[in-house]
Amino acid sequence: MSVMRSVILAGSQNAWLRRRAPRFWFVRKSVSRFMPGETVDDALKAATALESKGMGTVFTYLGENIADAAEAAQVTDHYLNVLDRIRESHLKTEISVKLTHLGLDLDPELCYANLVKLIEHAGAASVVWIDMEASNYVDLTLDLYRRARRAYPNVGVCLQAYLYRTEKDLESLFPLGPAIRLVKGAYRESPEIAFHKKKDIDENYFALSKRLLSEEARHAGVRAAIGTHDPRLVRRIQEWTQSNNLGKNGAIEFQMLYGIQRTLQMQLAQEGWKSTVLIAYGDFWFPWFMRRLAERPANTLLVMRNIF
Ligand code: FDA
């Protein structure tokens, strides 16, 4: 991991910075590259525009590690309301949640009860995605995911290719016929548990993608979402898909974040691939924004440019 990436990720957890940075206009302006706005209305507007261009969307309301049960209930109510707004707008938008935003740090049972409310409200056709957070949450997240998936068809989980353990986790989930979003991983993890070199992460990502798209996975009913902006990996996976006679639709879906690789997102949709954009909104964006900077330290130039 580069020093720059490590410093930015450490900053994302700094409470002082978290309180102060969002007050600066140049930080707010830089964030707007990755968010259509802070409100649900902003997200709905962006989703309507993307859907009209043939793309799917997923909403995430920014926040994590909340402090009390009342806040977890508020977040749950917020998502319940958002699911209603999505339905009223005739959009196919799904949602993606962080379990620590639903109360995982306070009580896993409370968190599970909140998650179930969302899964039931979303309806069987709309998957509720669970983000994967730092490595100390992986076991708990997968436990709650397994429990939810046994009870409901419409729940998916994110797995991170930088963790050594992910290969085993993926295999162990197959019998559940899961919906899985594969990403590289956005947190600061030690070399004891995670790959650090881009080349190693990319190779593991490719190997895991092939498992996700394998005949065995399709037989098990896996929904495979390839969550990366990496054009080289996207191309390799497309080529692999085609040389294995998998159709563009159904078996595979590409998911990217709003504002990143927009041309590629559009190009995939135009070529007939399922292309989905994850739209984040809300005012608690600081740690999330810092993770976006860490993924591409050149993004800090954007912040600099906005200062001047
Ligand atoms: P990589 O970082 O190698 O970048 C490849 C290329 O993509 C770069 O050269 C650049 O062109 C572009 N790019 C990537 N990131 C950029 C950025 N921030 N700004 C500008 N350009 C950028 N992580 C996690 O730990 N838990 C989760 O639940 C999720 N959820 C999630 C959902 C979806 C839909 C996506 C796409 C990603 C996530 N992530 C995540 C984040 C993920 O782990 C990872 O940090 C980022 O996707 C960056 O890695 P890439 O695969 O894009 O490749």
C-alpha 184 – ligand 1 centre gap (Å): 7
On whether both 186 and 101 belong to a single domain, the answer is yes
174 and 222 in contact (C-beta within 8 Å)? yes
Nearest CA residue ID for atom 52, ligand 1 = 229
* Best residue for ligand 1 mutational test, from 229, 233, 254, 263 (most atoms within 8 Å of Cβ): 229
- The mean pLDDT value for 58-86 works out to 95
Q: Are residues 16 and 131 in the same domain?
A: no
Instruction: Give yes or no: residues 100 and 9 share one domain.
Output: no
15 token code pair = 């409470």
Most ligand 1 atoms within 8 A of CB, residue of 59, 145, 166, 183 to mutate: 183
Separation of 42 CA from ligand 1 center, angstroms?
22
Whether residues 111 and 235 fall in one domain: yes
For residue 183, report the distance from its CA to the centre of ligand 1, in Å. Answer: 7
Looking at the fold, whether 227 and 308 belong to one and the same domain comes out as: no
Question: Which residue's CA lies nearest to atom 48 of ligand 1?
Answer: 295
295 Cα–ligand 1 center, Å: 6
Helix ranges (H only) for 154-285 are 166-173, 198-212, 215-220, 231-243, 262-270
In this structure, the answer to whether residues 193 and 308 fall within a common structural domain is no
Judge if 304 and 211 occupy the same domain.
no
Q: Give residues (CB < 6 A) around ligand 1.
A: 131-132, 158, 160, 181, 183-187, 198, 227-230, 255-257, 260-261, 278, 292, 295-296, 299
Question: Which one, of 64, 95, 65, 63, lies nearest residue 82 by Cα?
Answer: 95
Q: Which of 128-137, 191-200, 241-250 has the lowest mean pLDDT?
A: 241-250
Helix (H) or strand (E) holding 159: strand 155-160
Determine which residue's CA is closest to atom 45 belonging to ligand 1. Answer: 186
* For the CA of 58, the nearest atom of ligand 1: 34
Q: Return the CATH number at 121.
A: 3.20.20.220
Residue scoring higher pLDDT (7 or 150): 150
307 close to 26: Cβ distance less than 8 angstroms? yes
Ligand 1 centroid to residue 153 C-alpha, Å: 27
152 and 205 in a single domain? The answer is yes
Residue 17: what pLDDT? 73
Nearest CA to 234 among 271, 281, 195? 271
Asked if residue 305 has pLDDT above 90, the reply is no
pLDDT surpasses 70 at 188? yes
**49 shares its domain with 161:** yes
* Residue identifier of the C-alpha nearest atom 14 of ligand 1: 229
Selection from 304, 280, 300 nearest residue 290 by Cα: 300
231: closest CA among 201, 263, 197? 263
**Range scoring the smallest mean pLDDT among 92-96, 121-125, 201-205, 254-258:** 121-125
Whether residue 114 sits in one domain with residue 20: no
Residue 55 vs residues 33, 49, 165: alpha-carbon distances, Å = 19, 9, 32
For the cut 70, the answer to whether the pLDDT of residue 123 exceeds it is yes
**Mean pLDDT value of segment 42-50:** 97
Q: What is the pLDDT of residues 9-18, one digit of tens each?
A: 777 777 777 7
Q: Ligand 1: which residue has its CA nearest to atom 51?
A: 228
Please identify every residue annotated as catalytic: 131, 181
Beta pairing partners, 194: 163
Domain that holds residue 302: 1-35+285-308
What 3-state DSSP class applies to 274? Answer: strand
Count of domains observed in the chain: 2
Residues 123 and 210 grouped into a single domain: yes
| Å from CA of 27 to ligand 1 middle | 20
- Cα–Cα dist 208/280, whole Å: 26
Give mean pLDDT, residues 113-132: 97
Report the percentage of the chain scoring pLDDT > 90: 72
Q: How many CB atoms lie within 10 A of CB 127?
A: 21
| Same-domain status, 24 and 162 | no
pLDDT in tens, 200-227: 999 999 999 999 999 999 899 999 999 9
